[in-house]
Amino acid sequence: MQAFMSWLSDSFAPAMQNFTKRPWVAAISGAMQKNIPFILAGSLIFFYNVFRSYFLFLPDLGKIANYSFGMLGLITAFMIANQMMEKLYHFRYTLIAGLTSICVYMMFIKPEFTDGNMLVSFDRFGPAGILLGIITGLFVSYLFHLYTKLGLLKESALPDFVVGWIHAIIPILISIGSGTLLVFTFDIDVFSKLLSLFSPIAAFGQTLPGFILMALIPAIAMSMGISVWTFTGLQMPIFMLGITANIALVAAGQPATNIVTYETLFTAALITMGGTGATLALNLLMLFSKSRELKTTGYICIGPSFFNINEPLVFGTPIVLNPLLMLPMWINAITSPIIVWIFMRSDWLNIPSKMIQVGQIPAPFSSVIITEDWRAIICYVVLMAVFLITWYPFFKVYEKKRIEEEIANTSKQD
């Protein structure tokens, strides 16, 4: 165990942290974070619609969701290119590359032109296009980056503003020209091709092993001090495709079938009760700890924990690179998806069918709201019991160690 922890702390964790700092990885993570306001804007409308279903006199605000959350693919294309230019220190291209990425995205969704009208399915702008947005942003960013490597006009006698225009025009032409070649010369529907290539990954993501991995990988990352946002580039397309399919199924009078969504994993706050790794149970145990330091930390962190924010607890206890507390965090990320999967597949709990990605609503309130099912309280109680049982033995061993350290420190001071 000691050798494994040494490898984690000395080799694996530093390597992963270096990996997450690479421009191409950091840009995707940064872009996803900047997408949050648009996702939340749409989420609030879906949340509002929960009340509207009971109070029919309330106005329909669906257009707000359509032009925020519903434009997520297009927004992602801009954000990825924008963040890529920032991470690669090409600051003069942050806006130009982003706007060029929007132009290329508009080609990649393969619109049709009839009598001067552009026809394209509105769905291609939204969450179904988020993967295309990522690929488009990376595609344009790579071309811009290659152009900067050429070092053209370094010694030019032309006025600076002319040089600036040339440096903007050439990569724009290269990017849009490449898109034109793919879409209009070779007649490639990039959107459809990309979905076809991604479909095996999305299909695996909707299986129980995929569900477990979606919960486990962020828990492992957080326990090593690595941001969970690193993995959103892969997770979000799976989540978005899943929830949009559920919304469409329910609208057609059929039951939702996709369990693996952001709503199930995060918003319902069952699997992530208290935050990634289900740390609320640990925080509750800390409130009654015989260790003065652990008890104090527990009281400081309990407020954020109820709202599923566990960074203060993870770094303050600490859980990060602490073998006694890392392991139960990983166990919870395996057992909780299995339990939720059993509940939902057995029709003991509704599968979420509304897009509400506000992850800071305390459970079990969020659990009932997201599933629209009072049985979510039963699932919450079962999971809380499992989490307490899982955390308890590891916590008691760690508590004993901390008490011994406190006694030793007190003796030294005396």
Query: Based on the domain organization, do 93 and 136 belong to the same domain?
Result: yes
* Domain enclosing residue 227, as ranges: 200-411
* Backbone phi and psi for residue 151, each to the nearest 5 degrees, phi listed first: 65, 35
Does 414 have pLDDT greater than 70?
no
- pLDDT at residue 413, rounded to an integer: 67
Amino acid occupying residue 230:
T
pLDDT tens per residue, range 8-29:
666 766 777 777 778 888 888 8
Identify whether residues 19 and 153 lie together within a single domain.
yes
Helix axes 23-52, 72-87, angle to 10 degrees: 150
Overall average pLDDT of the 221-236 stretch: 80
| Count: domains in the chain | 2
pLDDT at 247 over 60: yes
- 99 with 167, same domain: the answer is yes
Q: How far is CA 161 from CA 98, 157, 166, 328, in A?
A: 21, 11, 9, 59
List CB contacts of 39: < 8 A, sequence separation 6 or more.
69, 72, 357
Could you tell me if 235 and 143 lie in one domain?
Answer: no
189/225 same-domain check? no
Q: How far apart are CA 354 and CA 249, in angstroms?
A: 11
What 3-state DSSP class applies to 357? coil
Q: What is the band of 354 on the pLDDT scale with cuts at 50, 70, 90?
A: confident
Residues 177-183, mean pLDDT to the nearest whole number? 95
* pLDDT at 215 exceeding the cut of 90: yes
- Record the pTM: 0.83
User: Domain end: 195, 221, 247, which one?
Assistant: 195
Same domain, 268 and 369: yes
User: Residue ranges of the alpha helices (H) in 2-71?
Assistant: 2-7, 13-20, 23-52, 62-66
279 and 293 share one domain: yes
Indicate if 42 and 172 belong to the same structural domain. Answer: yes
Which contiguous run of DSSP H or E holds residue 404? helix 376-413
Tell me which of 15-24, 67-76, 189-198, 288-297 is least confident.
15-24
Neighbours of 153 (CB within 10 A): 14
pLDDT tens track for 367-397: 998 999 999 999 999 999 999 999 999 999 9
Q: Which residues fall within 8 angstroms of residue 118, CB to CB, at 6 or more apart?
A: 111, 112
* 162 and 208 assigned to the same domain: no
Last residue of a domain, one of 195, 212, 234: 195
Would the pLDDT of 297 be above 90? yes
As a 3-state breakdown, the chain gives helix, strand, coil percent values, each rounded to 5, of: 75, 0, 25
Tokens (6 digits) for 225: 């001090």
Shared domain for 113 and 178, answered yes or no, is yes
Q: Answer yes or no: do 255 and 165 share one domain.
A: no
Which residue, of 195, 219, 251, is where some domain finishes?
A: 195
Model confidence at 303, pLDDT cuts 50, 70, 90, reads very high
Q: What is the DSSP string of 162-212?
A: HHHHHHHHHHHHHHHHHHHIIIIIS---HHHHHHHHHHHHHHHHTSHHHHH
Residues 6+ apart with CB under 8 A from 58: 48, 51, 52
- For residues 64 and 190, membership in a common domain is answered with yes
